[in-house]
């Protein structure tokens, strides 16, 4: 936390929606507020929106208290599908009273949209298998704001487009680059949900360039130490992109034009501002930001490693060593 939190603004970000899958998970408003205080001390100019981890210990009163404390939402992790999700959801129906209260309080339900691997379900179709659950929740709770996080498939893009206006989806910068071959042989690119096919990645790029209010940026940046990404044992799922998030999105769109996935006229400043800022701020009912950034193309490259002075903690950024845009805050 001390190493990476100060890098948030380097990626052109002044508002963070903070995930609660820490150890232990953030399940109470007090834990969330304490966590926010620590983050704020490290990055005082960043606005941190806090969440709770959907957990069996949660009650309707927890939601009422959370709303009063200014907690923005609750994040659902299916049990065992991603980092620190062992305490996650097994049966969504048991949480219906929680969702009903969230609907009353106008809080957001954030969904890690995968089913656990079992039977015919693997990491390659786990997101698609989750989409009927998304549709059911959206139908049962039509006034509950629902965000399907880090889309990776054309099917998920289509589902978000077709469901009611209470359902939106976030897209990461790394999923705008990666396909299955990129992580199958490179653990640094391994994340959950995993990147899928070329057609799926291209659907994400087209969603970004569509200008559709239902899609906006979410980094899902995960700063795992290099040992957990390249060492022995189970590889940690997550990609670290935070210092370069905006630059990477712009780079991905530029690359998509070069690859003829998008037309040059598809990529406009208005659409980019919508995806990176307005659409998300509108969904979370935040005021428009008055701060601005400028990107320029020079000779900057993404760091090979972000680490502390004594090198006891090191994190490898996504696309380490690759050329990138330079970013400056201008207002």
In this predicted model, what pLDDT tens digit does every residue of 200-233 receive, in sequence order? 999 999 999 999 999 999 999 999 999 999 876 7
Q: Is the pLDDT of residue 13 over 80?
A: yes
> Tokens for 140?
């049962």
Q: Identify each DSSP E strand in the chain by its residue range.
A: 15-17, 47-49, 51-53, 73-76, 108-112, 145-149, 167-171, 215-217, 293-296, 306-307, 314-315, 326-329
Q: What is the mean pLDDT of residues 310-330?
A: 94
Question: How many CB atoms are located within 10 Å of the residue 328 CB?
Answer: 10
With vertex at residue 217, the alpha carbon angle to CA 125 and CA 282, rounded to the nearest 5 degrees, is 120
Q: Give the C-alpha separation, 330 to 141, whole Å.
A: 42
What is the band of 1 on the pLDDT scale with cuts at 50, 70, 90? confident
Q: Find the radius of gyration of the CA atoms of the chain.
A: 19
Q: Give the C-alpha separation, 21 to 230, whole Å.
A: 22
26's CB contacts (< 8 A; 6+ apart) are 20, 32, 35, 50, 51, 52, 53
Q: Give the C-alpha separation, 314 to 288, whole Å.
A: 35
pLDDT reported for residue 185 = 87
Q: How far, CA to CA in Å, does 152 sit from each of 126, 156, 257? A: 10, 7, 20
What is the band of 331 on the pLDDT scale with cuts at 50, 70, 90? confident
What is the band of 78 on the pLDDT scale with cuts at 50, 70, 90? confident
Q: Is the pLDDT of residue 90 over 90?
A: no
* pLDDT > 90 fraction of the chain, expressed in percent and rounded: 89
pLDDT reported for residue 95 = 96
What is the band of 86 on the pLDDT scale with cuts at 50, 70, 90? low
Q: What is the mean pLDDT of residues 277-286?
A: 98
pLDDT digits (tens, 9 = 90+) for 223-278: 999 999 987 678 999 999 999 999 999 999 999 999 999 999 999 999 999 999 99
What is the band of 75 on the pLDDT scale with cuts at 50, 70, 90? very high
Q: Is the pLDDT of residue 82 over 80?
A: no
Q: Give the C-alpha separation, 91 to 78, whole Å.
A: 9
* Per-chain mean pLDDT for the chain: 95
The region that residue 81 occupies, defined by phi over 0 for left and psi between -120 and 50 for alpha, beta otherwise, is alpha
Beta carbons of 78 and 116 less than 8 angstroms apart? yes
Beta carbons of 79 and 90 less than 8 angstroms apart? yes
The lowest-confidence range among 70-84, 121-135, 206-220, 256-270 is 70-84
């Amino acid at each position: 936390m001390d190493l990476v939190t100060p890098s948030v603004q380097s990626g052109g970000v002044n508002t963070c929606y903070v995930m609660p899958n820490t150890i232990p998970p953030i399940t109470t408003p007090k834990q969330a507020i304490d966590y926010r205080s620590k983050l704020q001390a490290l990055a005082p100019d960043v606005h941190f929106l806090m969440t709770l981890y959907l957990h069996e210990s949660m009650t309707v009163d927890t939601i009422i208290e959370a709303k009063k404390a200014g907690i923005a939402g609750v994040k659902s992790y299916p049990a065992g599908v991603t980092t620190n999700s062992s305490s996650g959801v097994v049966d969504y129906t048991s949480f219906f009273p929680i969702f009903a209260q969230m609907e009353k309080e106008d809080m957001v339900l954030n969904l890690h949209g995968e089913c656990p691997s079992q039977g015919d379900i693997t990491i390659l179709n786990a997101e698609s298998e989750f989409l009927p659950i998304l549709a059911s929740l959206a139908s049962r709770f039509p006034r509950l704001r629902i965000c399907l996080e880090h889309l990776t498939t054309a099917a998920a893009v289509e589902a978000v487009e077709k469901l009611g206006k209470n359902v939106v989806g976030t897209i990461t910068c790394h999923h705008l680059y990666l396909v299955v071959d990129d992580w199958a042989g490179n653990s640094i690119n391994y994340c959950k949900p995993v990147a899928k096919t070329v057609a799926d990645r291209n659907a994400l790029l087209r969603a970004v360039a569509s200008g559709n209010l239902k899609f906006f940026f979410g980094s899902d940046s995960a700063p795992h130490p290099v040992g957990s990404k390249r060492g022995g044992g189970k590889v940690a799922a997550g990609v670290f992109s935070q210092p370069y998030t905006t630059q990477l999105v712009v780079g991905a769109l530029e690359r998509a034009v070069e690859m003829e996935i998008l037309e040059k006229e598809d990529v406009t400043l208005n659409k980019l501002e919508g995806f990176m800022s307005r659409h998300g701020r509108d969904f979370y009912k935040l005021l428009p930001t008055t701060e601005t950034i400028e990107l320029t193309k020079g000779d900057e490259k993404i760091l090979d490693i972000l680490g502390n002075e004594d090198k006891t903690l090191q994190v490898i950024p996504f696309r380490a060593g690759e050329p990138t845009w330079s970013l400056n805050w201008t207002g």
